[in-house]
Amino acid sequence: MILKNGATVHAKAPGKVLLMGGYAVLEKPNLGFVITVDANAHAYITQREDYTVVLDSKQFGHAEGKVDKKTGRIEIDRCPKELVMLKTALELAMMYAVSLGAEVNGFNITTACDPAFSYAPKGSRAINKSGLGSSAAITVAAIGGVLTCLGMSVKKDDVLHKLSQAAHSIATGKVGSGFDIAAAVYGSVLYSRYSPEILESFPKDYTPEDVAALVKRKWDYEIRKVEIPRGFSLCFANILGGSTSTTEFVKRVREMKVNKPQKYAEITSVINSSTLKAIGALKKMQDDAEGNATDANIARFREAFNTGRLATKELGTLAGVEIEADHFGELIDVSMDNGALVAKLPGAGGKDAIAALCRTEDDRKRLVDFWKGTGELQPMDINQEEGGYSYNIEN
């Protein structure tokens, strides 16, 4: 073990914004472009000399239990449902360590998220999520921190990524594509999901050997680094008084896939081809001499981005969910007259947030002022940041 004398591993993983490929990314090999931001989830882990496990989350509450030194399984009597994801993440990390012959003890873990992950509308006591992916980021930070405590590499065989995908999938009922986990591990990426069968075939009563085999197995996801051209900036705002159930939206879109398979395939194909065209334009902008984006490539990017956005809106209309309500479509159009190069309701859409890319800082300031003036948006002080999982040791 690498920790001595009460030292603490401080692990962190970033929040994300899915800018392109929403819903289409659920289907392999379609792509999603997700960027990470300078807001992080944190996990602070200190080892214990006994086998007690203490979970303390500022988001989800408190629980205590025991870790089995032979299997790494964590037992918590009546674990609160809000802590099931964290418990699952920690258990998979411990079981993987046991499978490699590591000696495991108990530990104290405290998790917290930066303020940008949630907000309180003015005059309200309610706390709303910002849609930056707190559960994925906490999962990655927790697993990475525990493995680091045990002196294990999180990079070899993509250990951190695979364990985090498994934990998040098990705890959420295997709903999503995993783009949020990939971003929390690697930073801003172009992502194509793994085949669902990889985790669907994972045993319900898994053992350390099962966990080790899952990590050793070759997964078929695709992850590529893509950078936003120099000078571009992210602008992000929460929709006041709004909220969206991603799980419910995905469920309704899945039902539409069953009921109208040909139309579903046509629309997701348009979304994916638009993502590819937009990414191609971004790369050309990035490769332009001295990083200057040409008007032609900017126009290609904007056209492809908006084609994908409107196709996603059509998908919602056919599924009976407002991925982009007409009102917000009008707001997006006006935003593009007030500083935004492109704008959309990111991720699952609905009423969570709005995101935009701006070409200059002056454009960004103009857009923020416009959003503030609408009375229905609360701009957040976050910026794009390329990095993924990281840690340091605090004595």
- Rg of the Cα atoms in the chain: 21
For 99, the token pair is 């499978």
- Name residues whose C-beta falls within 8 Å of residue 253's C-beta, 6 or more positions apart in sequence: 23, 26, 264, 315, 316, 319, 321
Q: What percent of the chain has pLDDT over 70?
A: 95
pLDDT at position 184 = 97
| pLDDT tens track for 216-235 | 999 999 999 988 888 899 99
Average pLDDT value over all residues in the chain? 91
Residues 107 and 44: their CA atoms lie apart, in Å, by 10
Helices assigned H by DSSP within 67-178:
84-99, 134-149, 159-172
Strand partners, 378: 238
Q: Specify the pTM.
A: 0.93
Q: Which domains does the chain have, with CATH numbers?
A: 8-225 (3.30.230.10), 233-379 (3.30.70.890)
Query: What does the DSSP 8-state code read for residue 82?
Result: G
Residues 7 and 251: their CA atoms lie apart, in Å, by 44
Residues 163 and 185: their CA atoms lie apart, in Å, by 11
| pLDDT tens track for 359-384 | 999 999 999 999 999 999 999 999 99
| pLDDT tens track for 121-132 | 666 666 777 889
For 369, the token pair is 């002022």
| pLDDT tens track for 73-103 | 999 988 888 899 999 999 999 999 999 999 8
| pLDDT tens track for 163-211 | 999 999 998 887 689 999 999 999 999 999 999 999 999 999 999 999 9
**Strand pairing report for 107-113 and 52-57:** parallel
For 156, the token pair is 């070899």
pLDDT at residue 388 greater than cutoff 60: yes
